[in-house]
Chain A
Amino acid sequence: MLFKDQVDFVRQHIKKNKLRVFMTILAATMGCAFLIVLASIGFGIQDTMRNEILQDQAITEVEVYPKENEELNLEEIKSVPYIGAIVQRTSMDVMTSFHLDDRSISGNLQLTDMKEEEQSNLKLSEGRLPQNNSEIVVGYHFAQNLWTDTERAKVEEGVEEADLPKGYEKSIIGKKVSLSLQSYDADTTFPEQWHFTVVGVVDNPAKDWIVDQSILMDKSWLPELTGVYEANAEQIPEKFTYATTKIYTSSLEHVKSVTKDLKDMGYNVYSVSEQLEQIDVFFMAFKIGLIFVGTIAILISSIGIFNTMTMAVTERTREIGVMKAIGASPKLIQRLFLMESAWIGIIGTVLAVIISYAVSFLANWLLPMVVGAALGEDGLQDLSITFSLIPWQLVVLASAISIGVAMISGWRPARKATKIDVIQALRQEL
């Protein structure tokens, strides 16, 4: 039998029982769409979380800490392949006051190597990196938190967020600021003063809630600053400088190997790849769970296919008998019935994929609004949360499960059709 004739044959039979076939397809569609939409939530939330992480920090960044009471061996770390930059920032346990005219700020002073900062691709919102040690770069919120004493007093009394002082509103680039130090337990600043020119402002941090009022200064100042501290402070703690070391790999794909190498050296390491890996492992389990639950829905709908096909075979017993009598092979008869159940599965799956994309689209559009309204906040739309994501792999997997299950449930009825006894079938009354 030509393939086209087989298709015609199947179509003719489906036409004869439109309603029954339609209901069966509906069940198959619902099962498959349920699977896709359910699993898409796993994919969506995973995607949201991954994006959150990738956005929040430089993705090539690897934080490395020494084991307790030990120091980092920078020379050893440098030998690790694919390292682009090693940025070690040192801060001191001391209040650092920066003054500009009548404004001041107690900033977070970080002493660092500007060459390495440059290599790590430190992003600035304006200006440039320092070229000599009298130049500094300040954090994004440095200027807006440069307050006068009256402003500060007002803030300490308590003001609404909208009424917060605007700080220094002109461009801070090129301005000279002075620095003085003060112990946390003392009332007055140390007499020494230094002057610096602001040449750059660091880019806005990715997380909205981070307030960056740091100051990046060349590390050549460290001995002088610690000397002043030691000369003036009443009590000198054993350790008052702290270094954090961040390593930047030459590209994202090397984060994993660098992380591993550093771990093997015995350091404590923290990187995006670690975090991503943990998230991926968690979501893999989560998605498998969702797909499993969704597959149960498909299995339930397959009962419908089984029933429909069994009825179709029973109804057509006499016709099948005649077909066999005039020379249709059992293989052909089996194939015709398998094609019918496959057709139900395929149409059901195609409809399910279309519906799933529509549901997914609607969910991503509506849910942020609904949730926002329920929580009484309206900023949620801007958060770009993906509730549901349908990657092509999910479509392929769900289609394979759905069509596969449809054919398996059509298998027994089709076998039954091939087993029909010609003589018995011909004896059936018209």
Chain B
Amino acid sequence: MIQVKQVDHTFLIGKKGKEKKVPVLKGLSFEVKQGEIVAIVGKSGSGKSTLLHTIAGFMSPEQGSITVNGQETANLNETERAAFRLNNFGFIFQNFQLMPGLTAIENVELPLKLKGISPKQRKASVQQMMDKVGLTEVGDHYPNELSGGQQQRVSIARALITNPPILFADEPTGSLDSETEQDILLLIQNLNQTLGVTFVMITHDAEVASIAHRTFKMHDGELVKGDVR
């Protein structure tokens, strides 16, 4: 499903002329299989987010190859990448990243709108998804009227509404209390089992990593330990 081969990336930081090179990804290679929950753990600053951003196509790594569903992502231009994300990826962010001006239902509906699905079809599938993530009651609420856990459920529903084969989650429970965290993890597990969605999760939290089938540990841009289980 996802192959990462020899990926290198270096950031330049500091003032112009006095830049310092900061290697963030150092020859990373690993694979994610269909239907897996994979957790990438590591200390803050170890390069987890940067790795995810390269796989998602938000940025291109300096070196190495990333293929998703057999497609070399480096070969796609901006427009093609956007379409590729729309069709293949869902995203769950630490701080939810919902549209403040849209209700829960409208937020979930957004990717379907981007795909050009008709309002009628949208309505049915959004309602179904809202039930699935347990938000039947609060569909008309705006994000600032929802609790953190509810917001993350909206964000999960939005990520899943287009039935993408792969979901990326960057610290999905980072902003939630431990009880809510548990609910969200159960939901992720449940969706993985019922829908067969592949999850790539980033976390620095061992609790979160516990639901993963496999765990990679990152340290200073390198995988120090693969396949914890």
- Interface positions of A (Cβ within 8 A of B): 1-2, 5, 9, 12-13, 16, 318-319, 322-332, 422-423, 426, 430
Docked-complex contact A325 and B91, CB < 8 angstroms: yes
Nearest A-chain residue to B144, judged by Cβ: A430
How distant is the Cα of A329 from the Cα of B116 in the complex, in angstroms?
13
List A contacts of B59 (CB < 8 A): 423
Query: Counting CB contacts under 8 A, is B82 at the interface?
Result: yes
Interface range on chain B (Cβ under 8 Å from partner) = 20 to 34
Known: A2-B118, A12-B101, A426-B93. A325 touches B78 (CB 8 A): no
Name the residue among B87, B101, B115 with the largest chain A CB count within 10 angstroms.
B101
- Interface positions of B (Cβ within 8 A of A): 53, 56, 58-59, 78-79, 82-87, 89-91, 93, 95, 97, 99-102, 110-111, 113-116, 118, 158-159
Known: A329-B79, A331-B79. A322 touches B97 (CB 8 A): yes
List B contacts of A331 (CB < 8 A): 79
**A81, chain B: closest CB distance, angstroms:** 65
Which residue of B102, B111, B118 contacts A326 across the interface (Cβ within 8 Å)? B111
**B26, chain A: closest CB distance, angstroms:** 20
How distant is the Cα of A2 from the Cα of B122 in the complex, in angstroms?
12
Docked-complex contact A327 and B58, CB < 8 angstroms: no
List B contacts of A322 (CB < 8 A): 97, 99
**A429, chain B: closest CB distance, angstroms:** 8
Known pairs A12-B101, A332-B114 / 9 extra A-B pairs, C-beta < 8 Å: A1-B114, A1-B115, A2-B113, A319-B100, A322-B97, A325-B91, A326-B114, A426-B93, A430-B95
Docked-complex contact B113 and A5, CB < 8 angstroms: yes
In the A-B complex, list the 9 residue pairs whose CB atoms are closest, starting with the nearest: A327-B86, A329-B82, A327-B85, A422-B58, A5-B113, A329-B79, A322-B97, A423-B58, A327-B82
**A31, chain B: closest CB distance, angstroms:** 30
Name the residue among A1, A13, A319, A325 with the largest chain B CB count within 10 angstroms.
A325
List A contacts of B95 (CB < 8 A): 430
List A contacts of B78 (CB < 8 A): 329-330
Docked-complex contact A326 and B110, CB < 8 angstroms: yes
Docked-complex contact B114 and A319, CB < 8 angstroms: no
- What are 27 A-to-B residue pairs whose CB atoms are below 8 Å? A1-B113, A1-B114, A1-B115, A2-B113, A2-B116, A5-B113, A12-B102, A16-B101, A319-B99, A319-B100, A322-B97, A323-B114, A324-B82, A326-B85, A326-B86, A326-B91, A326-B111, A326-B159, A327-B83, A327-B84, A327-B114, A329-B78, A329-B83, A330-B79, A332-B114, A422-B53, A422-B58
How distant is the Cα of A329 from the Cα of B68 in the complex, in angstroms?
19
Name the residue among A13, A322, A430 with the largest chain B CB count within 10 angstroms.
A322
How distant is the Cα of A330 from the Cα of B83 in the complex, in angstroms?
10
List A contacts of B53 (CB < 8 A): 422-423
List A contacts of B79 (CB < 8 A): 329-331
List B contacts of A325 (CB < 8 A): 56, 58, 85, 91, 97
List B contacts of A2 (CB < 8 A): 113, 116, 118
**B61, chain A: closest CB distance, angstroms:** 13
Which residue of B83, B97, B118 contacts A318 across the interface (Cβ within 8 Å)? B97
Docked-complex contact B116 and A1, CB < 8 angstroms: yes
List A contacts of B86 (CB < 8 A): 326-328
List A contacts of B110 (CB < 8 A): 323, 326
List B contacts of A16 (CB < 8 A): 101
How distant is the Cα of A332 from the Cα of B86 in the complex, in angstroms?
13
How distant is the Cα of A426 from the Cα of B168 in the complex, in angstroms?
14
**A112, chain B: closest CB distance, angstroms:** 81
List B contacts of A328 (CB < 8 A): 82, 86, 114
List B contacts of A327 (CB < 8 A): 82-87, 89, 111, 114
List A contacts of B115 (CB < 8 A): 1
List B contacts of A319 (CB < 8 A): 99-100
List A contacts of B100 (CB < 8 A): 319, 430
**A18, chain B: closest CB distance, angstroms:** 13
Nearest A-chain residue to B87, judged by Cβ: A327
How distant is the Cα of A330 from the Cα of B80 in the complex, in angstroms?
10
List B contacts of A423 (CB < 8 A): 53, 58-59
Name the residue among A318, A326, A330 with the largest chain B CB count within 10 angstroms.
A326
How distant is the Cα of A326 from the Cα of B89 in the complex, in angstroms?
8
**A321, chain B: closest CB distance, angstroms:** 8
How distant is the Cα of A13 from the Cα of B116 in the complex, in angstroms?
20
**A346, chain B: closest CB distance, angstroms:** 23
List A contacts of B89 (CB < 8 A): 327
**A301, chain B: closest CB distance, angstroms:** 27
**A367, chain B: closest CB distance, angstroms:** 49
**B71, chain A: closest CB distance, angstroms:** 15
